Chain A
Amino acid sequence: MRFLLTAEQREFGRTLDGMLGACGTPSAIRAWASGDAKPGREVWARLAAAGVFGLAVPQEHDGSGLLPVELTVAFHELGRHAVPGPLAETVAAAAFLGRLGDGAAAAALLPGIASGTAVVSLCMDGPYALDADAADAVLTVRDDTVHRTARHGPVQPCADPARRLARPLDGVLLARGPAVTAAAAHALDIARLATAAQCLGLGRALLDGTVSYVKERTQFGVPIGSFQAVKHRLADTLIALEFARPLVHAAALALATDAPAAARETAAAKVAAGEAAYAAARTALQLHGALGYTDELDLSLWIRKARTLRDAWGTPAECRARVLADPPDGN
């Protein structure tokens, strides 16, 4: 057993972190929120060049094959820098198409996903498709059918301004039958894993930003970070994030080996990482005081993302139910 990232995996994360740090994501996020996807798409192109989207694309379609552990490493960094766009949706769509066994549908979208030229939204857990207005295609799974469209209803403002929600409209039937259901279950696990990893990175950025702030900000003549009430809140934030991390890694390993426990493990990871990120956001808001309550503060973009990521691809209640869904002697 070596339950630690390899040196290569850690280096991959560091490279993405450095690259995204240089991109200056806050301005791309604000542009994305106002309907200008161009700066965000430039970030996507750089991520694609680094191989991020290919991590869920089969090799015959120009990807690396599904690599869940590397995917969690990448999505940790995407969350840390709050990269806008249907990130989990695109890799889940890739996993869906890869599993579907429909050569034409796969050939039409997967090479573009790997190269970053196809932003794909996948809609299967609610009425809205994420970022349909910026996406090149929307895949909609309902029961045992999957449709493809590029058309959508009006964009509904979201609690996270960088999430643009719209109802997908009609579209072309791509496939129907049990293969769709099976591929959708797989895609759900990938979406939950990617979202959980994104939550970990988001929570870490919220924690780091808040730690820096409380070291600088003084009240009563001392940094507020010297107060025990402040320290303990931040310590609890770190504990929650640190104990969510191994759940995310174990879920990735379960998916990598197609283990029967994969759905349960991804649900557990999603609950823990989502709740940890949301708690980190609440702490960041509280410890930044009124400043944290403004949209001028860049960190507020992270704060507002935490709640929606926590609830995307299965609310905590849904995921908790999934954790207990298996019979006691099952895997």
Chain B
Amino acid sequence: MDLDVTDAEEAFRGEARAWLAAHVPATPLPSLETAEGFAAHRAWERRLGADRWSAVSWPTEYGGRGASLLEWLIFEEEYYAAGAPGRVGQNGISLLAPTLFAHGTEEQRARILRPMARGEEIWAQAWSEPEAGSDLASLRSTAVRTDGGWLLRGQKTWSSRAAFADRAFGLFRSQPGTPRPHQGLTYLMFPLDAPGVTVRPIGRLDGKPAFAELFLDEVFVPDADVIGEPGAGWRVAMSTAGNERGLTLRSPGRFTAAADRLTALWRANAAPSDTALRDRVADAVIGARAYQLFTYANASRLASGEALGAESSLNKVFWSELDIALHETALDLLGPYGALADDADDAPEHGSWAEGYTFSLAGPIYAGTNEIQRDIIAERLLGLPKGRR
């Protein structure tokens, strides 16, 4: 057992650190949930992509660096420690791309991954529907066979980034009346400006259009944009869902960097006698370290050929609760400034704590609610009997 990194990994860290030091904007970008902020983040995504830092773990032919899982973790640590902007390309890079690597065709990878890595095409996810949140098997939007492709009809909702993104991916029911609800689903990609697509932005708690409803009326999708076998979309999508709640969506670097910032905030602001706040800061530091080490252990397991399964549900519950606790503690440390919205002139640290707090509140809700994750943990890891939810 060891936590040692190789000279090559240390060199990779140094290269990433130097690039970030030279390129991270001195002033944080505006919120990526606004038109102005989205454009600024898109430009940053292009900057990253130009020097092959947008998707370091991808093969070089698609714009990556062929980095190992551990190198990716190292990059993320450096990225967040440098205070670099949030990733507007995340849905595509973390959720769609792993699915394309696993189930896509060579033509799809060649056509889709490079523009994604260069930040030229920003992707939104279209998983949820008004009647299907964590229960994806109850999806109702349909894909009906037509000449050379499919016609999409229905409604998607809570689509992150969809207000400003270029394209979306999701599951559609292509064979109605199958014996089991997760059968007969097809995984498809479509442009958000295609004829028949109406995008209605939905304001988040803070009013910013962080997600959107999508109304689909006979939207044509060519066969080339089906991922995997038609009707087998559930199995294809599950590899994406594991990514979403597991390693890739929330890398430990984000939390270790936030815990460091929180500790600095505490040293600067807290009364030494306030042990209640001190304990919460310590718990955030301990939690971030635990998450980092748990991820190292999982990375070691993956590197030795083991597969991860329901363990990703442990991750999801842990980081989402850590994220909220960390930001709540920061707002308490900020006292009267903690009440300011992120775009207030007086908001401390350019509103990053306020913005992060709002974002953290969604964690236990998306990517499969924490209630669903706890059911998975209890049934698959502890062997408890299934019951009515």
Which residues of A line the B interface, CB within 8 A? 1-6, 9, 69, 207, 211, 214-215, 222-223, 225-228, 230-232, 234-236, 238-239, 242-247, 249-250, 253, 268, 271-272, 316-317, 320-321, 323-324, 328
Q: How far is the CA of A316 from the CA of B2 in the complex (A)?
A: 27
A69, A236, A271, A317: the one contacting B1 at CB < 8 Å is A69
Q: Contact check, A234 vs B1: say whether CB atoms are below 8 A apart.
A: no
With contacts A3-B2, A226-B384, A228-B387 known, is A268 near B289, CB below 8 A? yes
Q: How far is the CA of A43 from the CA of B336 in the complex (A)?
A: 59
Q: Which residues of B contact A214 (CB under 8 A)?
A: 384
Q: Which one of B36-44, B47-55, B85-93, B371-379 is at the A interface?
A: B371-379
Q: Any chain A CB within 8 A of the CB of B291? A: yes
Q: Contact check, B385 vs A223: say whether CB atoms are below 8 A apart.
A: yes
Q: Which of B147-165 contact A (CB under 8 A)?
A: none
Q: How far is the CA of A244 from the CA of B314 in the complex (A)?
A: 12
Q: Which residues of A contact B379 (CB under 8 A)?
A: 231
Q: Which residues of B contact A244 (CB under 8 A)?
A: 290
* Beta-carbon nearest neighbor of A210 in chain B: B382
Q: Any chain A CB within 8 A of the CB of B180? A: no
- Interface SS of B by simple majority: helix
B286, B371, B383, B389: the one contacting A247 at CB < 8 Å is B286
A5, A231, A242, A246: the one contacting B296 at CB < 8 Å is A246
Q: Contact check, A235 vs B291: say whether CB atoms are below 8 A apart.
A: no
With contacts A1-B2, A228-B389, A235-B317 known, is A323 near B285, CB below 8 A? yes
B5, B278, B290, B381: the one contacting A246 at CB < 8 Å is B290
Q: How far is the CA of A2 from the CA of B69 in the complex (A)?
A: 12
Q: Contact check, A226 vs B293: say whether CB atoms are below 8 A apart.
A: no
Q: Any chain A CB within 8 A of the CB of B301? A: yes
Q: Which residues of A contact B285 (CB under 8 A)?
A: 268, 323-324
Q: Any chain A CB within 8 A of the CB of B219? A: no
Q: How many residues of B contact A (CB 8 A)?
A: 51
B2, B314, B378: the one contacting A2 at CB < 8 Å is B2
Q: How far is the CA of A207 from the CA of B378 in the complex (A)?
A: 11
Q: Any chain A CB within 8 A of the CB of B101? A: no
5 A–B contact pairs at CB < 8 A? A231-B374, A238-B377, A239-B314, A246-B294, A253-B2
Q: How far is the CA of A326 from the CA of B333 in the complex (A)?
A: 20
Q: Any chain A CB within 8 A of the CB of B205? A: no
Q: Contact check, B371 vs A238: say whether CB atoms are below 8 A apart.
A: no
B3, B264, B387: the one contacting A227 at CB < 8 Å is B387
Q: Which of B246-302 contact A (CB under 8 A)?
A: 260, 263-264, 266-267, 275, 278-279, 281-283, 285-287, 289-291, 293-294, 296-297, 299-301
Q: Contact check, A235 vs B290: say whether CB atoms are below 8 A apart.
A: no
Q: Which residues of B contact A245 (CB under 8 A)?
A: 294
A232, A242, A250: the one contacting B314 at CB < 8 Å is A242
Q: Contact check, A238 vs B382: say whether CB atoms are below 8 A apart.
A: yes
Q: Contact check, B386 vs A246: say whether CB atoms are below 8 A apart.
A: no
Q: Contact check, A317 vs B385: say whether CB atoms are below 8 A apart.
A: no
* Beta-carbon nearest neighbor of B296 in chain A: A3
Q: Any chain A CB within 8 A of the CB of B107? A: no
Q: Which of B51-80 contact A (CB under 8 A)?
A: 70
With contacts A215-B384, A321-B282 known, is A1 near B4, CB below 8 A? yes
Q: Contact check, B378 vs A3: say whether CB atoms are below 8 A apart.
A: no
Q: Contact check, B278 vs A321: say whether CB atoms are below 8 A apart.
A: yes
Q: How far is the CA of A227 from the CA of B373 in the complex (A)?
A: 15
Q: Contact check, A272 vs B371: say whether CB atoms are below 8 A apart.
A: no
Q: How far is the CA of A245 from the CA of B293 in the complex (A)?
A: 9
Q: Which residues of B contact A207 (CB under 8 A)?
A: 382
Q: Contact check, B297 vs A231: say whether CB atoms are below 8 A apart.
A: no
Q: How far is the CA of A247 from the CA of B283 in the complex (A)?
A: 13
Q: How far is the CA of A9 from the CA of B2 in the complex (A)?
A: 13
Q: Any chain A CB within 8 A of the CB of B359? A: no
Q: Which residues of B contact A228 (CB under 8 A)?
A: 371, 374-375, 387, 389
Q: Contact check, A234 vs B297: say whether CB atoms are below 8 A apart.
A: no
Q: Which residues of B contact A232 (CB under 8 A)?
A: 371, 374-375, 378
Instruction: List 18 additional contacts besides A3-B300, A225-B384; criterion CB under 8 Å.
Output: A2-B2, A4-B1, A4-B304, A6-B1, A232-B375, A238-B377, A242-B314, A247-B289, A253-B2, A253-B3, A271-B286, A272-B290, A320-B283, A321-B278, A324-B263, A324-B278, A324-B281, A328-B267
